[in-house]
A and B are shown apart, each in its own frame.
Chain A
């Protein structure tokens, strides 16, 4: 009995459902989430902290909007587009929403192909994701240009409450920065996957460590989070 315990390999506790699993994980020795790659756990921790940042932005938007005496601009009209003779409300924002959701879908499939170690479809889907992400940022740049031409500034705008500009530029700007950084990392990862770094065990340039297709899932978490944040921005800032 004593010998068998020394020779047996460390067994990962199986995925126990429910609160018992929580207790088992937190009372485990060495590390908490056994079997979860540390990079993935750290990405989740980062995403939680990032959630707080975006929440604070949205909560400050709520506070500003609820406490202003001057009526808030009607987002439906401000972000509307003229198509021919029609005034379509929120058209550009709707297209941006669909583009970001599409990129999230392609990313989810890239993660799937990554875990199946199918290098080529994984790389192609990451490239498509990056393409849609870049398209999103491009449309956001168009939107910013349009509003700046119409006289929207962080301190004033012709539509209503002056705080509208600062909230708009801060929230969409911060989100757009996240998308841009995501596109850069998508391109880097697409190159790695395409070259087969995860199959040959080639060491990374910065970390000089071998990586795995888990890296694709971690990148996927970040990308889905960007989409997730947009869901909340779309609901609260554009539709409300």
Chain B
């Protein structure tokens, strides 16, 4: 235990970063291929979201060292993101309403 105010410094082998770098390349290539092959519909969405979340997870966990960070700070960072989820849900229903009123007044109501 160091009496110093600094936390124990942990460095990792350079191979860790090279591996993650490579994985990010591979997943970016996959998500690009989704567009290139031109998948549509549910398959496209689920693949895009899946690759996006994997890439985001790798960047946050390894590159931003969140995996080795104190659990308290991880909680502080990730819990506020639920508010974004709630906001997305609200705005989805709002956009349906806007679309409905547009259709109603532009098409039916004219």
Contacts and interface: CB of A to CB of B under 8 A. Distances in A.
Interface of A: 9-12, 14-19, 21-22, 24-26, 32-33, 35-37, 41, 44, 47-48, 51-52, 55-56, 59-60, 62-64, 66-69, 76, 89-90, 94, 97-98, 101-102, 104-105, 107-109, 112, 115-116, 217, 220-221, 224-225, 227-228, 231-232, 234-236, 238-240
A50 B87 CA distance: 16
Interface residues of B, number: 62
Given A21-B72, A62-B95, A89-B36, A101 B25 contact: yes
Interface of B: 1-3, 5-7, 9-12, 14, 17-18, 20-21, 24-25, 28, 31-32, 34-36, 38, 44-45, 48-49, 51-52, 55-56, 59-60, 62-65, 69-73, 75-77, 80-81, 83-84, 87-88, 91-92, 94-96, 98-99, 102-103, 106
Nearest to B106: A69
Nearest to A88: B36
Contacts, number: 168
Per CB-CB distance, the 4 closest pairs between chain A and chain B, nearest first, are A105-B21, A25-B72, A35-B7, A66-B95
Contact of B84 (A10, A55, A97): A55
Given A21-B70, A108-B20, A232-B52, A55 B11 contact: no
Contacts of B3: 9-11
Contacts of B9: 115
